[in-house]
Amino acid sequence: MFLQIKSRFGDDPKSIYTATVKASTVFEHYSMALVFCFFDTSEGDLWDYLWFVPAPDFIKLANRLEGGKRFGFVAGRGKKDSNKWDEYLIDKKELSNAILKQMQRI
């Protein structure tokens, strides 16, 4: 299983999470997933939740940037019907379970 981890740092847990990923580093197979996490500098710890996104889903849903050379990930940290990444938002304590479940798809 290949994991690509993207992190952001800050002290406002209500801010929008954004990240970019080079398209050449992501392959469309369930043996790869991306993890997006936020380190809360005011708490000195990871935010309680993170996004675990299988690569095929990420490629399908991410914004295309720079003529397809990069993927864009933009998500709010509050559950909303309009947030396409909500189904991938998990408690950080569930990351190992999500990885194991994903490995069963391979």
For the segment 27-41, what is each residue's pLDDT rounded down to a tens digit?
Answer: 999 999 999 999 999
pLDDT score for 97: 97
Q: What are the structural domains, with CATH classification, of the chain?
A: 2-103 (3.40.1350)
Average pLDDT over residues 54-83: 90
At 11, list the tokens: 């002290």
pLDDT score for 76: 86
For the chain, what is the HEC assignment?
CEEEEEEEEECCCCCCEEEEEEHHHCCCCCCEEEEEEEEECCCCEECCEEEEEEHHHHHHHCEEEHHHCEEEEEECCCCCCCCCCHHHEEEHHHHHHHHHHHHCCC
pLDDT score for 81: 63
Quick one: pLDDT band at residue 83, thresholds 50, 70, 90? Answer: confident
pTM of the model: 0.92
pLDDT score for 38: 93
